[in-house]
Amino acid sequence: MRTRPLKVALLGCGVVGSEVARIMTTHADDLAARIGAPIELAGVAVRRLAKAREGIDPALITTDATALVKRGDIDVVIEVIGGIEPARALITTAFEHGASVVSANKALLAEDGAALHAAAEQYGRDLYYEAAVAGAIPLVRPLRESLVGDKVNRVLGIVNGTTNFILDKMDTSGAGYSEALDEATALGYAEADPTADVEGFDAAAKAAILAGIAFHTRVRIGEVHREGITEVTAADIASARRMGCTVKLLAICERAADGRSVTARVHPAMIPLSHPLASVREAYNAVFVEADAAGQLMFYGPGAGGSPTASAVLGDLVAVCRNKLNEATGPGESAYTRLPVSPMGEVVTRYHISLDVADKPGVLAQVATVFAEQGVSIDTVRQQGRQDGGGEASLVVVTHRAPDAALSATVEALRKLDTVRGVASIMRVEGE
């Protein structure tokens, strides 16, 4: 074993960073044995010096992250500060000054992964980011390496713990969205500003990263169709229950049937209770991967949190350190297929549409005509009087598979019917 240590700089010392530093210290001997050389925490960049950092030598702490990555003696930079800047500039500077990078930064990778990969390649460094997607659940490495000899056709999963906690709470307790969000906030599952989670930005970033790796192409977060869960109502969940379904926020990456394009989307969807994803509770994550030869695989585990994310960071750290000792680099970006990303309108999916309609003869025929005009085939219709004496009824329609554009045009046309008083809920149906 080499005795000269590999030097590691840590950018960020929050929930994840402090856990990474702790494990690097307490498991130093194991990590050294597994790498083939000891590792040394050579510097920790933080925003504010004032805070106490338990177990970290105060002499290592600096507020000058740029100077740290420019030192020139750093072998690996661990970036766990998140956000676009200064993370992007720091990573690029790290490559320039001799370091490989382990990052947990999903937003940056989904926004500008291609440029980061190009910089890594230019300087002959590694860029590893298992921790950016679904915490400790191995997904990036299985897709990049285990399934690299196969053809992945679909990735479908729950990749955001906060929204899964909220939807699970709504499903089990009958609570409304705000009430469930409040509970998630109180328990620490949702941040004070929950926008990134509940509006689906976090899941969309992960979908972009997964789609890119799975299909060997480039997908940016802006190309991911995104709908959050803020519009999901207790009535939607109850409606799903009546269909033998539950509602989950899904990230879905698909290769088109003709193989010539891909799609990536994040939206709430009804899935049957018999589907394995339906039983993913609380803040857990789970991802299905469908490949030609491998068939259907599922990966399940805690999708966030300091320790699980640190586990993923440290796995990458060991890999990158081994590569350094081998004077080699691991697999870089693979985007040779250059498949275009199709817009949401071309995605083939199914809708569950709940309509408030006038309770009189001929309404169903009118509604059915609208579907037929848009070329959308109906799977089931459930019609019921609302029994509130208002002369209204509800009509619940589940369609067969059709392009999303045709489905949404159908909804627009339905809204214009005199007999349709309102569209109570629209939700896609997946997992069948």
Q: If binding means CB under 8 A, how many residues of this protein chain bind a copy of itself?
A: 59
53: Cβ contacts below 8 Å, ≥ 6 apart: 13, 18, 21, 44, 46, 61
Q: Which residue has the tokens 């005009």?
A: 373
386: Cβ contacts below 8 Å, ≥ 6 apart: 356, 359, 392, 393, 394
Which of 295, 362 has the CB closer to a copy of itself? 295
Under DSSP, the state recorded for 229 is S
Q: Which of positions 385-424 make contact with a copy of itself (CB under 8 A)?
A: none
Between the alpha carbon of residue 209 and those of residues 52, 114, 277, the distances in Å are 35, 11, 20
362 binds a copy of itself (CB under 8 A): no
Taking the C-alpha atoms of residue 183 and residue 189, their distance in angstroms, rounded to an integer, is: 8
Applying CB under 8 A, which part among 195-203, 223-231, 331-339, 366-374 lies near a copy of itself? 331-339
Taking the C-alpha atoms of residue 329 and residue 256, their distance in angstroms, rounded to an integer, is: 32
Whether 51 is catalytic: no
Q: Which of positions 262-321 make contact with a copy of itself (CB under 8 A)?
A: 276, 279, 291-302, 305, 307-308, 310-319
Binding mask 120-149 for a copy of itself (x = CB under 8 A): ----------x----xxxx--xx--xxxxx
Taking the C-alpha atoms of residue 145 and residue 330, their distance in angstroms, rounded to an integer, is: 10
Taking the C-alpha atoms of residue 324 and residue 362, their distance in angstroms, rounded to an integer, is: 73
Which of 8, 347 has the CB closer to a copy of itself? 8
In the bound complex, what is the minimum distance in angstroms from residue 316's beta carbon to a copy of itself?
Answer: 8
Taking the C-alpha atoms of residue 285 and residue 158, their distance in angstroms, rounded to an integer, is: 5
Which of 64, 145 has the CB closer to a copy of itself? 145
Identify whether the C-beta of residue 180 lies closer than 8 Å to the C-beta of residue 247: no
Q: Which of positions 50-89 make contact with a copy of itself (CB under 8 A)?
A: none
Identify whether the C-beta of residue 303 lies closer than 8 Å to the C-beta of residue 159: yes
Beta strands in 159-229 (DSSP E): 225-226
Taking the C-alpha atoms of residue 44 and residue 63, their distance in angstroms, rounded to an integer, is: 8
Identify whether the C-beta of residue 261 lies closer than 8 Å to the C-beta of residue 417: no
Binding mask 211-240 for a copy of itself (x = CB under 8 A): -----x------------------------
Which of 128, 351 has the CB closer to a copy of itself? 128
Q: Which of positions 144-173 make contact with a copy of itself (CB under 8 A)?
A: 145-151
329 binds a copy of itself (CB under 8 A): yes
Which of 296, 384 has the CB closer to a copy of itself? 296
Note the maximum CA span of the chain: 85
Nearest to 50 by CA among 63, 65, 67, 64: 63
Tokens representing 150 are 């196969």
In the bound complex, what is the minimum distance in angstroms from residue 424's beta carbon to a copy of itself?
Answer: 34
**Nearest-5° Cα angle at 304, 431 to 220:** 65
In the bound complex, what is the minimum distance in angstroms from residue 331's beta carbon to a copy of itself?
Answer: 6
Which of 162, 354 has the CB closer to a copy of itself? 162
* Active-site residue, selected from the candidate residues 106, 206, 248, 324: 206
Taking the C-alpha atoms of residue 116 and residue 413, their distance in angstroms, rounded to an integer, is: 45
Beta bridge partners of 100: 76
Catalogue the active-site residues. Answer: 206
Residues contributing to the site for a copy of itself (CB under 8 A) = 19, 23, 27, 30-31, 33-34, 130, 135-138, 141-142, 145-151, 216, 276, 279, 291-302, 305, 307-308, 310-319, 322-323, 326-329, 331, 334, 336-337
